[in-house]
Structure 1
Amino acid sequence: MNPLLLDIPLQLETERLILRAPHQTGDGKIVNQAIKDSFSELKAWLPFAQKLPTAEETEINLRNAHINFLKRESFRFLIFDKNSNHFIGTTSLQRIDWTIPKCEIGYWVNTKFSGNGYMTEAVEKLADFGLNNIKFRRIEIRCESTNLKSRAIPEKLGFVFEGTLRNDDLSADGSKLTDTCFYSIIR
């Protein structure tokens, strides 16, 4: 089946969260503020957070994410608390290979909401959706070996630790080689 024919909802829900595709004008302002609030934590792990983007740059990034969603190249979701509507972070089905089909889950959390299990809840929903609705055969989570908070998520969710790729990537700031831990779940 051509992936463009897949019916992918723009919103998913969990007990506490709403996961929504970035399709609303103004999402950039909300996400940009969370990047600013979380900058020191994000900078340690994510190449995109090496310099603060402007709200306009973030808005453009989210509009491109929506285009990629419609083209079925990746599925980014903004995470909101159901009760307060506070922005929690993002999670995505990305690096999709439709020939298998398989993908990778990526995520980052607004520091203000870290430690409450929100990201674990969101990733669990996205993995379940990917396996059972989109019918991915394999979903991976990759993270730097020293990023223990990020590694805790696939470990809590029962992803299988497949190993560590030594000197696999550069640190977020590009200054040194890092090791990448691989986790997966299969159908």
Structure 2
Amino acid sequence: MNPLLLDVPLKLETERLILRAPLQTGDGNMVNQAIRDSFNELKAWLPFAQEQPSVEETEINLRNAHINFLKRESFRFLIFHKGTDDFIGTTSLQGIDWDIPKCEIGYWVNTKFGSKGYMTEAVKELTNLGLNHIKFNRIEIRCESTNLKSRCIPERLGFELEGTLRNDDLSADGTKLTDTCIYSIVS
């Protein structure tokens, strides 16, 4: 089946969260503010957060994410709290290989909403979407070995640590070699 024919929901719900595709004009302002609020923490781990983006750059990034969603190249969701409508972060099915089919999950959280289990809840729902709705055979989560907060998420959700690739990548700021942990779950 051609992936363009897949019916992928634009909105997912969990007990506490709503995950929706970034398709509303103006999402860039909200997401940009969360990046600014969380900049110091994000900068340590994410190459895109080495410099604070402008609102316009964030809006363009989100519009491209929506285009990629429609083209079935990646599926990014913005995460909101059900009760307060606060923006919590993003999570994505990305790096899709439709021949296998498999993908990777990426995520980041607004610092003020960290350590509350929201990202684990969101990634659990995205894993369910990937395995049971889209029918991926394999989902990976890759993260720097020293990023213990990020590593906790796949570990809590029953992903298996397949290994650590030594000197596999550069740090987010590009100054040193880092090790990458690869977690996976298979159907």
TM-score, normalization by structure 1: 1.00
- Say whether residues 1:113 and 2:113 are aligned partners: yes
1:2 paired residue number: 2
Structure 2 residue 26 is matched with structure 1 residue 26: yes
CA distance in 2, matches of 1:9, 1:128: 12
Amino acid at match of 1:39: F
Which residue number corresponds to residue 72 of structure 2?
Answer: 72
Residue 151 of structure 1 and its aligned partner are, at CA, apart by 0.1
| Structure 2 residue matching 1:183: 3-state secondary structure | strand
Count of aligned positions: 187
C-alpha distance in 2 between matches for 1:4 and 1:129: 16
- Segments of structure 2 that go 5 or more residues without pairing to the other structure are none
In the superposition, the TM-score normalised over structure 2's length comes to 1.00
Q: Distance in 1 between matches of 2:129 and 2:75?
A: 11
Match of 1:179 in 2: 179
**Alpha-carbon RMSD:** 0.2
The answer to whether the aligner puts 1:104 opposite 2:104 as a matched pair is yes
| Equivalence for 2:11 | 11
Secondary structure in 1 aligned to 2:173? Answer: coil
Q: Which residue of 1 aligns with 2:156?
A: 156
Q: Once the two structures are aligned, what percentage of the paired residues are identical?
A: 81
Q: Secondary structure at the match of 1:29?
A: helix
Residue matched to 2:61 = 61
Stretches (4+) displaced over 4 A: none
Distance 1:48 1:126 in 2: 22
Q: Deviations over 1:151-187 (max 9, x none)?
A: 0000000000001000000000000000000000000
Give the Cα separation in 1 of the matches to 2:73 and 2:22.
14
- 2:69 partner SS: helix
Deviations 1:98-153 (A, max 9, x none): 00000000000000000000000000000011000000000000000000000000
Deviation at 1:67, TM superposition (A): 0.1
SS of residue in 2 equivalent to 1:23? coil
| Unpaired segments ≥5 residues, structure 1 | none
